[in-house]
Structure 1
């Protein structure tokens, strides 16, 4: 199938790394692995940091101009997709291009990873919220990335057009990474990976530091923090009382080896959709201590591959951390279970199979809607 692709939240070639960019690239990779031909229709970015009808209307106008440009270029080249797929839309990043092109060409329209916050129906984001809802109404299939988003989308997307796509990763490098065993008498090795910036990331670092402060004095651990950003000095100050090593930013190629030399991945996941790094850490054989935010419980098996606590609860996070720090054997068992968990549910092959099934469902839905529409 010829699939036209766009990512209004963040283009695939955006220079700033993020889980969103990585997941977008993985979706393209999985579609190609399933035998589909993917063309990036446009790298137009509708995301804006600030709202307001005037700002959103300007973005909408630019999006329609871009849609016409894309259609003109395809007419010249003779290209015609079988389906248009948009990755990640919400009130700050609506999609005007996909619905316009799909309607003009008479092809199915699919959205993968959509979120909906009803409180944004009014206020500065109302225009973008309405635009995102219009795209959802046009979609022949909408795939949420976790059950929490699915529940919010169910208010506007009929059940037959709504699905959940389990997050996945190209796990081979992580699954093949050789574990570096902890030496006898060595403190248990903790790892945290995250950008050091204002907002949810900094809030996660603050909660992690708070949880470490609450551990019993007898706890023996060594923490490695991988990441960089404008708040690095503040993050370093948070952990000044603890045995910690800061690596700075790490590349994707370095992460499997980094994970393989640790025992437990620790991250509170404040306001995170699901956290791709949780998949990476589990694939490398780490137990998880994390927050149960949004989609995290969908990818971390509480009690089997890790321990989750309610979002923002430093005391509960510290209790779970103390449980595994004091019991390295249990942490090791969870790490082994984590690798099996990824193999069973979250590999690139799993993603390719799921996406292929979703596209087939979209084609069926499109045909049914076309049949039901008045002539």
Structure 2
């Protein structure tokens, strides 16, 4: 039974406010989390928009952010209305929660975290101070919700006392499944175009396409500062590859609906919301066997990074030449998303885990 009715929840995301003007996966996830907590009947207040983020390991910046965080914590300690619970999203060594543990302890508010990581390798070096703070913030949490099995490894190894670690599968912000794809159109890729891991995935795709034969086509949804580099990678394939640009939700849903499969290698993806979206539409996914992806992909056999692009091409060919296999995998994927990765399931998991905590403090 969901028991959030009448509760008041303080929400904070040190990495990026849910109200930030620049779209990103972190902003979207923060918004979705506020919605699923509220769906349990609670009132959810974004209590601070202070951004605590050090991208480069700049100790001077870290000290300045600490000073800002202290001022913000002092303000909240004196002005925050009565709260039943504090929720912090995404505490890690580059963006530690420097506010929540102090305010929650002083105001005697139960404190929980969603998607936190412990990086012992960062306890020395330029992020040492922030990494230590992230660990201490983890220690302060009564409950930590983890999204992937990979995150659980260090959370479990360094769990503080009787801290409760609760699996919280990534979810789509919807109550029901979207429409099912026709599975007869072009392949679909979707990813931001920026240097680093995203560009690395596009490079793998280009190397994969070289090995494809027959009548195939690929549509790419996304945009970004590395678009020219991605276009150069895809130029050898001519009109077989079409760039759709940045799509809104409705346009993206239409792209999923007309696709035959979803292709994204997933270099260093934490988990990747696009995989949930694609599978929600019933698209079979071609991806590499990587830690974060295992938590959101339909169980099956996926090529390892070491297998290389040729193995991805082999998987693509098998799907493109077998409509029955595409349909079977798509149906199974939709069943998995419906059971585990929709908003109602996330709401139920959240309130099931925190209700005993709230009852103990009543």
Please, what TM-score do these two structures have when normalized by structure 2?
A: 0.92
2:25 is matched with 19
Q: Tell me by how many angstroms 1:196 deviates.
A: 0.3
1:61 is matched with 67
Once the two structures are superposed, residues 120-173 of structure 1 have per-residue CA deviations (whole angstroms, 9 ceiling, x without a partner) of: 111111111100000011110111111110112112214652122111112357
Choose from 294, 298, 307 the match for 1:297: 294
Quickly say closer, same or farther: Cα 1:160–1:130, change in 2 above 3 A. Answer: closer
1:358 is matched with 353
Choose from 330, 341, 344 the match for 2:339: 344
- SS class of match (1:224): strand
1:185 is matched with none
Choose from 241, 251, 261 the match for 2:258: 261
Taking the aligned partners of 2:309 and 2:181, their CA distance within structure 1 comes to 30
2:302 is matched with 308
- SS class of match (2:235): coil
Choose from 246, 262, 276 the match for 2:243: 246
CA contact (8 A) 2:183 2:327 kept: no
1:33 is matched with 39
Choose from 99, 102, 125 the match for 1:100: 102
Q: Tell me by how many angstroms 1:100 deviates.
A: 0.9
Choose from 202, 205, 223 the match for 1:228: 223
Asked if 1:168 is matched to 2:171, the reply is: yes
Q: Tell me by how many angstroms 1:330 deviates.
A: 0.8
Choose from 313, 316, 328 the match for 1:318: 313
248-257 vs 133-142, greater mean Cα deviation: 248-257
CA contact (8 A) 2:298 2:332 kept: no
Aligned ranges for residues 18-167 of structure 1 at < 5 Å?
Answer: 18-74=24-80, 79-158=81-160, 160-167=163-170
CA contact (8 A) 1:171 1:280 kept: no
CA contact (8 A) 1:145 1:167 kept: yes
Q: Tell me by how many angstroms 1:58 deviates.
A: 1.5
Taking the aligned partners of 2:148 and 2:298, their CA distance within structure 1 comes to 14
Q: Tell me by how many angstroms 1:296 deviates.
A: 1.3
Quickly say closer, same or farther: Cα 1:340–1:193, change in 2 above 3 A. Answer: same
- SS class of match (1:221): coil
Q: Tell me by how many angstroms 1:10 deviates.
A: 1.1
CA contact (8 A) 1:227 1:249 kept: yes
Taking the aligned partners of 2:94 and 2:16, their CA distance within structure 1 comes to 11
- SS class of match (1:254): helix
CA contact (8 A) 2:182 2:260 kept: no
CA contact (8 A) 2:36 2:347 kept: yes
CA contact (8 A) 1:263 1:335 kept: no
Asked if 1:274 is matched to 2:268, the reply is: no
Runs of 4+ in 1 over 6 A off after TM superposition: none
CA contact (8 A) 2:84 2:358 kept: no
Q: Tell me by how many angstroms 1:292 deviates.
A: 2.7
Q: Tell me by how many angstroms 1:256 deviates.
A: 1.4
CA contact (8 A) 2:181 2:283 kept: no
1:237 is matched with 232
1:10 is matched with 16
Aligned residues: 352
Q: Tell me by how many angstroms 1:360 deviates.
A: 2.0
Please, what TM-score do these two structures have when normalized by structure 1?
A: 0.89
Asked if 1:330 is matched to 2:322, the reply is: no
294-303 vs 105-114, greater mean Cα deviation: 294-303
- SS class of match (1:241): helix
CA contact (8 A) 2:182 2:258 kept: yes
